[in-house]
């Protein structure tokens, strides 16, 4: 067991850092995770660099990595998630080019 990751998770729940996780702290964290979700959201800022919801190019919420660092190349966006599953999207439309294609390189992917 990786004790560093357990300690890190504990301190994220123990918000007042008293060394104890109360039922209220646990419930609050559980509610937060229920609301959380992964999304790939390409934005097109205006000429001044401002971004509002009107600048959303497209959105994908399926088959995304927990911690993503998408790659843009030749008008395509690529992601890899844990287990070595790759997906690609057309960067203009968001159309799925392929999804959850196995890379034969299982493992955790974080960037």
Question: In this predicted structure, what is the pLDDT of residue 8?
Answer: 63
pLDDT at 1 exceeding the cut of 80: no
Q: Which two tokens stand for residue 60?
A: 């994908």
Q: How many CB atoms lie within 10 A of CB 77?
A: 20
The pTM assigned to this predicted structure is 0.65
Residue 107 near residue 82 (C-beta atoms within 8 A): yes
Q: Are strands 85-90 and 96-102 parallel, antiparallel or unpaired?
A: antiparallel
- For the chain, give the longest Cα–Cα distance: 51
Domain boundaries, the chain: 3-35, 38-111
What pLDDT, in 10s, does the model give residues 58-83? Answer: 999 888 887 778 999 999 999 999 89
pLDDT at 35 exceeding the cut of 90: no
- Report, in angstroms and rounded to the nearest whole number, the Rg of the chain calculated over CA atoms: 18
Mean pLDDT of the chain: 84
- CATH classification code of 38-111: 2.40.10
Q: Worst-scoring range by mean pLDDT, 4-13, 68-77, 101-110?
A: 4-13
Question: In this predicted structure, what is the pLDDT of residue 90?
Answer: 96
């Amino acid at each position: 067991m990786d004790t560093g990751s357990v300690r890190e998770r504990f301190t994220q729940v123990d918000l007042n850092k008293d060394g104890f996780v109360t039922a209220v702290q646990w419930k609050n964290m559980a509610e937060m995770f229920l609301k959380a979700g992964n999304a790939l959201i390409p934005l097109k800022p205006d000429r001044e660099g401002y971004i509002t919801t009107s600048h959303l190019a497209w959105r994908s919420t399926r088959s995304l990595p927990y911690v993503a660092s998408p790659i843009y190349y030749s008008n395509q966006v690529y992601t890899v998630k844990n287990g070595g599953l790759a997906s690609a999207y057309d960067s203009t439309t968001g159309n799925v080019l392929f999804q959850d294609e196995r890379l034969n390189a299982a493992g955790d992917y974080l960037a």
